[in-house]
Amino acid sequence: MADAVVACRDVVQIYASERGTVQALRGVDVDAHAGSVTAVVGPSGSGKSSLLRLLAAIDVPAAGEVTLTGRSLGELSGRRRRRLRRRAVGFVSQRPADNLEPGVPLRRQLRAAARFRQAELAAADELLEELGLSTRAGHRPGELSGGEQQRAALARALIGGPALLVADEPTAELDRTATVDVCASLRRLAADRGLAVVVATHDAAVLAAADRVLHLRDGAVQSATLAGEQRAVIDGAGRVQLPPEVVAWFPNQRVRLEVDPETRTVRIWPS
């Protein structure tokens, strides 16, 4: 946990709704490390947005712990948490238009972000150059393509040198060419700047660019894919998430266990 830029341990998140209390996350453990891209996937209602809001220090968990650059969010006042978020987190929303001021040229927007985050104004031009937008610096967002807008959103999010970049389905409204460009930018930024990148997505191109893929279902991490190999996840309480087709083998939700300490294997079968 200490080596991670952001980490969750046994996190629970609960929201009140018109239909009652909703448990959006239940016992989630997640780490994101510098220089890596972590993709989060799952069906609607699986808890992706709730998890991203916690990782980005927008919300605090109902239970469990979230640490960001070594600071526990639950121990911070709202003011200190906002200050930490401003310093340590860059956030990119799904819709390109939501990330930028519509009538303001890119360079002016990035320089305003630099002043807000007490960064050097030269950082704006450096990021525009790094993301291939130097020739578009005087243009307003409406004069850019969708892919250019999202790369501009990445530039704005990275002003001030945050340790964590959180992106919520950043390629959902892009064509294939623009998606490839944004994926390449995410990989390059993670490697060159030592960023921890966490991105919620359904896009196969983003999944292919990720170092690790976390599969969420019903508010819990069902499995993780590392180097193309899908692995089950054991959370901090010892719970294992089984794929839905395997859960069907246990209709009464009771199992018998056989544990062999010598071979360190566990067998389960219906009770």
Centre a 10 Å sphere on the Cβ of residue 188 and count the other Cβ atoms it contains: 13
Measured in whole angstroms, how far is the alpha carbon of residue 14 from the centre of its chain? 19
Q: What is the pLDDT of residue 31?
A: 94
Number of H helices, E strands in the chain: 8, 13
Closest by CA position to 203, among listed 91, 99, 94, 54 = 94
pLDDT (tens, 9 = 90+) of the chain, 271 residues, equals 447 999 999 999 998 877 778 889 988 999 999 999 999 999 888 999 999 999 999 999 999 999 999 999 999 999 999 999 999 999 998 887 788 998 999 999 999 999 998 899 998 999 999 999 999 999 999 999 988 999 999 999 999 999 999 999 999 888 899 999 999 999 999 999 999 999 999 999 999 999 999 999 889 888 888 877 777 777 666 777 776 677 778 888 788 888 888 888 888 888 7
Distance CA 241, CA 237 (A): 12
The b-or-e profile of 38-60 (16+ CB within 10 A means b, else e) is bbbbbeeebbbbbbbbbbbbebb
Q: What is the pLDDT of residue 226?
A: 81
Q: What is the pLDDT of residue 236?
A: 66
61 CB contacts (<8 Å, ≥6 apart)?
8, 11, 12, 13, 25, 54, 73, 74
Q: What CA–CA distances, in Å, run from 209 to 72, 183, 197? A: 29, 6, 11
Distance CA 27, CA 236 (A): 8
Spatial contact of 142 and 28, defined as CB atoms under 8 Å apart: no
57 CB contacts (<8 Å, ≥6 apart)?
66, 68, 73, 81, 82, 84, 85, 88, 89
Q: Which residue has the tokens 């409406």?
A: 142
Pairing mode of beta strands 89-92, 220-226: unpaired
Strand partners, 229: 226
Q: Which helix (H) or strand (E) holds 223?
A: strand 220-226
Centre a 10 Å sphere on the Cβ of residue 93 and count the other Cβ atoms it contains: 16
Residue 162 phi, psi (nearest 5)? -65, 155
178 CB contacts (<8 Å, ≥6 apart)?
145, 146, 147, 148, 150, 171
Spatial contact of 92 and 167, defined as CB atoms under 8 Å apart: yes
Distance CA 151, CA 57 (A): 23
